[in-house]
């Protein structure tokens, strides 16, 4: 049972509900109950004062539902036709999103949610997605409490088996061993490499090398997401007990499947919310690996946050690849000019190798 202060009490498991009832509570005022099966709790529900309670996506016997409505509770049912739980109490796992992958990716909850999201807009669709993203946002906030988070951004097209993919994995491996939590956009490429490195941090460096070799047999999610995801799940089965890391993908880019190495996956329908959350959660800074338009967008979105932040809230920005950021996509000069005479200038770093990154962020 969670300790709490104030009037709002989040009740997100049946054990929590029964513990509170057993503790002698008489009123459910301010309770927010999410996605609970309460069909076996008739006696408790009828004995409590439910005025001011909020039932979000809970399963109730019809007489109990009518009773709590009549006695002053608000009941929000699941949105009909939605393949996702709009009131889910926690983040996703890879096993949940890829359930049924052996029968083909198109059968998985992840693929079905994407297909559903591509339907013509309707009030029901918009409502279900908004409620879902709010629930995920809430669960992510609870997950991040007390963590020192480093974001790693980079291109989605980076393939398994490449030197750059191995570098991104090694970077996250070292950051996680320095007791930082890695967060990525949760997709393939550099994002997957980072979540992989974080996951294998409790294991020997040689194990990371072996995992990289295993994954190289399925270098990209095209042409087969099934083969790509299965290779990752095989690595997870080979080295269980990996370290925590965060993935924050979006069904907006549903053609890019979520990578399975993030142990906690906050998948949103809204990409705008996802981008903002991804940058805001990285309280120990962000590493920007070479990427394309999406990575450049994230560089300057983060720069905007730092530009207006007070001195105590500026987070480091580390761009990896001097030639890339000064010649191929010359964002560094503009970024440096923007930071001149601002508090953020002392927190900007341009480096050439990943070995230079960890000392900047692990201090």
| 119: in domain | no
- Do 61 and 172 belong together in one domain? no
- Do 48 and 163 belong together in one domain? no
At which of 76, 104, 127 does a domain end?
76
Q: pLDDT of 12-24, one tens digit each?
A: 899 999 999 999 9
Q: Longest C-alpha distance within the chain, in Å? A: 70
Query: Is residue 261 within 8 Å of 187, Cβ to Cβ?
Result: no
- Do 47 and 193 belong together in one domain? no
| 334: in domain | yes
pLDDT of 165 strictly over 70: yes
- Do 352 and 221 belong together in one domain? yes
pLDDT of 5 strictly over 80: no
Quote the domain boundaries for residue 57: 9-76
- Do 212 and 301 belong together in one domain? yes
At which of 76, 94, 126 does a domain end?
76
- Do 68 and 183 belong together in one domain? no
- Do 59 and 168 belong together in one domain? no
- Do 240 and 319 belong together in one domain? yes
Mean pLDDT computed over every residue of the chain: 95
Q: Return the closest-CA partner of residue 166 out of 211, 204, 201, 199.
A: 211
Contacts 24+ apart (CB under 8 A), 276-280: 276/301, 277/137, 277/140, 277/248, 278/151, 278/183, 278/185, 278/248, 279/151, 279/305, 280/305
pLDDT of 238 strictly over 80: yes
pLDDT of 188 strictly over 50: yes
pLDDT of 121 strictly over 60: yes
Provide the pLDDT for residue 2: 44
At which of 28, 47, 76 does a domain end?
76
Stated length of the chain: 363
Backbone angles phi, psi at 286, to 5 degrees: -130, 135
* Pairing label, strands 31-34, 348-351: unpaired
Structure tokens belonging to residue 55: 């039932």
Residue 224, domain CATH: 3.40.50.450
| 133: in domain | no
pLDDT of 104 strictly over 80: yes
Burial class from Cβ neighbours inside 10 Å (0-12, 13-18, 19+) for residue 221 reads: buried
Over residues 72-92, mean pLDDT:
93
- Do 203 and 341 belong together in one domain? yes
| Domain total in the chain | 2
CA distance 334 to 326: 10
pLDDT band at 78; cut points 50, 70, 90? confident
Provide the pLDDT for residue 1: 41
Provide the pLDDT for residue 263: 98
| 3: in domain | no
% residues pLDDT > 90 (the chain):
92
pLDDT band at 362; cut points 50, 70, 90? confident
Q: pLDDT of 258-306, one tens digit each?
A: 999 999 999 999 999 999 999 999 999 999 999 999 999 999 999 999 9
What end-to-end distance do the CA atoms of the chain give, in Å? 36
Provide the pLDDT for residue 8: 84
pLDDT band at 328; cut points 50, 70, 90? very high
| 237: in domain | yes
| 87: in domain | no
| 158: in domain | yes
| 112: in domain | no
% residues pLDDT > 70 (the chain):
98
CA distance 83 to 85: 7
- Do 256 and 345 belong together in one domain? yes
pTM value surpassing 0.85: yes
Query: Is residue 244 within 8 Å of 264, Cβ to Cβ?
Result: yes
Over residues 160-172, mean pLDDT:
98
- Do 201 and 308 belong together in one domain? yes
Provide the pLDDT for residue 81: 86
- Do 69 and 157 belong together in one domain? no
Provide the pLDDT for residue 80: 85
Over residues 218-232, mean pLDDT:
97
pLDDT of 329 strictly over 60: yes
């Amino acid at each position: 049972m969670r300790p709490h202060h104030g009037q709002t009490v989040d009740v997100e498991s049946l054990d929590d509900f029964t513990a509170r009832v057993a503790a002698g509570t008489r009123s459910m005022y301010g309770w927010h109950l999410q996605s609970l099966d309460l069909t076996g709790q008739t006696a408790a529900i009828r004995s409590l004062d439910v005025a001011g309670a909020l039932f979000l996506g809970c399963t109730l016997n019809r007489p109990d539902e009518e009773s709590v409505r009549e006695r002053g509770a608000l009941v929000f049912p699941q949105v009909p036709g939605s393949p996702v739980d709009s009131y889910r109490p926690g983040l996703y796992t890879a096993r949940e999103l890829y359930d049924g992958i052996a029968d083909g990716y198109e059968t998985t909850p992840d693929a079905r949610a994407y297909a559903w999201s591509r339907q013509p807009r309707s009030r029901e669709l918009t409502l279900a997605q908004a409620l879902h993203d709010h629930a995920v946002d809430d669960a992510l906030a609870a997950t991040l409490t007390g963590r020192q988070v480093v974001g790693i951004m980079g291109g989605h097209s980076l393939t398994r088996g490449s030197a750059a993919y191995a570098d991104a994995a090694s970077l996250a491996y070292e950051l996680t061993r320095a007791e930082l939590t890695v967060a990525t956009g949760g997709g393939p490429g550099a994002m997957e490499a980072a979540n992989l490195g974080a996951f294998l941090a409790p294991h020997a460096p040689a194990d990371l090398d072996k995992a990289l070799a295993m994954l190289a047999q399925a270098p990209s999610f095209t042409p087969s997401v099934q083969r790509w995801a299965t290779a990752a799940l095989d690595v997870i089965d080979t080295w269980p007990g990996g370290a925590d890391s965060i993935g924050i993908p979006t069904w907006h880019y549903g053609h890019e499947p979520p990578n399975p190495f993030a142990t906690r996956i906050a998948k949103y329908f809204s990409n705008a919310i996802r981008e903002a959350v991804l940058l805001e959660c990285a309280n120990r800074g962000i590493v920007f690996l070479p990427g394309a338009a999406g990575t450049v967008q994230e560089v300057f979105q983060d720069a905007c946050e730092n530009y207006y932040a007070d001195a105590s809230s500026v987070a480091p920005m580390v761009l990896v690849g001097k030639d890339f950021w000064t010649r191929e996509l010359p964002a560094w000069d503009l970024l440096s000019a923007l930071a001149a005479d601002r508090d953020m200038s002392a927190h900007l770093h341009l480096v050439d190798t990943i070995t230079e990154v960890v000392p900047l962020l692990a201090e």
